[in-house]
Amino acid sequence: MRFFLKAIILSLAIPVLLLSGCGNKYEKVVVVYTSVDQEYAEPIFKKFEASTGIKVLPVFDVEAAKTTGLVNRLIAEKNRPQADVFWNSEFMQTMLLKEKGVLADYQSPEAKDLPAEYRDEYWTAFGGRARVLLVNTNLVPPEHYPQSIFDLAKSEYASEKAAISYPMFGTTATHAAALYAVLGPEQGRKYFADLKQHNVQTVDGNSVVRDLVAQGHLKMGLTDSDDAYGAVNRGAPVKVIMPDQDGLGTLVVPNTVALVAGAPHVETGKLLIDYLLSKEVEEELLRTGCIQISTRGITDSGSYIDHRQIKKLQTDFAAIYSQLSLVKQELTEIFIK
């Protein structure tokens, strides 16, 4: 409701401001760079346009570049910003942008009911995906289902019967950094060295892990919940397991959204951020399978998980981010060199 009241007020104000010569700052457009897949983001932008009359000009990432391409572009444009909003499907690169001075201070009123750890002066996190274990039910009986990420290196799954994506990239790098933060760098490195020693496969991406498990080439793998539930929804013989619910807890990777410093369309940028943080958008992202973790307790589907109902890995975003550089250096040495 707050968003729609603000949208009505702004939609009435913008034409007056344009006529009074306020310039492009109040132009009825908003430019958003996003790493969220186009199939999920585009319908949301269309609904925003329909409800506000503001034209959304999105720039999507190139799959091969992941989020990095957009982040590098934002950094390169820092002195002459082209984007108003950055909507990221994770949080690590958003924190890098904050460190580089690319983001502006904006705290949306729509974020008031989000968990405290999801709110920062320069960005807001919402919704998200979990790092889960995916098991092929034709190959693994229920009594042998893994319950922990540490089960990856056990003999019944190892020797090329389990897989992770390369842990120097994407959400697997984030997961690695989280383990370094919780376990300490020495034990974090040891965990991945053990995976390598036990011949756990490393593949090009979480979707590849999912496909290898779903097709029966592997017994299990570590992947993201959106990939995992995608296999479930297609009827593959798989089981999704939230790992370490009796131990360390499961890592949740939320979306983040931020206003770009020096944005050419500040007011419409703020309005888009408010919309993305609304309950309506969270419901849409859950319904389409973009995210599975609800920050507002929406649980009317088997794949919707209230963040309060799972044991989450106990660390904070800053601690995870602080380990990323070391993770990339050490895990490159283990898995590439």
Average pLDDT for 46-74: 87
Average pLDDT for 296-303: 79
Tell whether 135 and 120 lie within a shared domain. Answer: no
Tell whether 164 and 273 lie within a shared domain. Answer: no
pLDDT at 9 over 50: no
What is the C-alpha to C-alpha distance for residues 191 and 197, in angstroms, rounded to an integer? Answer: 10
Tell whether 328 and 192 lie within a shared domain. Answer: yes
Q: Residue 27 corresponds to which tokens in the numbers above?
A: 């132009």
Tell whether 72 and 119 lie within a shared domain. Answer: yes
- Residue 193 belongs to domain spanning: 129-251+312-335
Integer CA distances (angstroms), 304 to 39, 286, 311, in order: 19, 7, 15
Task: Please say whether the beta carbons of 116 and 125 come within 8 A.
Answer: no
Tell whether 211 and 120 lie within a shared domain. Answer: no
Tell whether 160 and 231 lie within a shared domain. Answer: yes
pLDDT in the model for residue 181: 98
Using a 10 angstrom Cβ sphere, with 0-12 exposed, 13-18 middle and 19 or more buried, the burial of residue 218 is buried
What is the C-alpha to C-alpha distance for residues 51 and 42, in angstroms, rounded to an integer? Answer: 14
List Cβ neighbours of 88 (8 Å cut-off, separation of 6 or more).
34, 35, 36, 67, 94, 255, 256, 257, 258
pLDDT in the model for residue 306: 86
Tell whether 331 and 290 lie within a shared domain. Answer: no
Overall number of domains in the chain = 2
Task: Please say whether the beta carbons of 187 and 260 come within 8 A.
Answer: no
Least confident stretch, 10-19, 48-57, 181-190, 220-229: 10-19
Q: Residue 194 corresponds to which tokens in the numbers above?
A: 């053990």
Tell whether 93 and 191 lie within a shared domain. Answer: no
List Cβ neighbours of 66 (8 Å cut-off, separation of 6 or more).
35, 169, 170
Q: Is 87 left (phi over 0), alpha (psi -120 to 50) or beta?
A: beta
Question: Tokens 């389409």 sit at which residue?
Answer: 288
Tell whether 89 and 145 lie within a shared domain. Answer: no
pLDDT at 13 over 60: no
pLDDT per residue over 234-270, tens digit each?
999 999 999 999 999 999 999 999 999 999 999 999 9
Question: What is this structure's pTM?
Answer: 0.88
pLDDT at 310 over 70: yes
Domain harbouring 331, CATH code: 3.40.190.10
pLDDT at 22 over 50: no
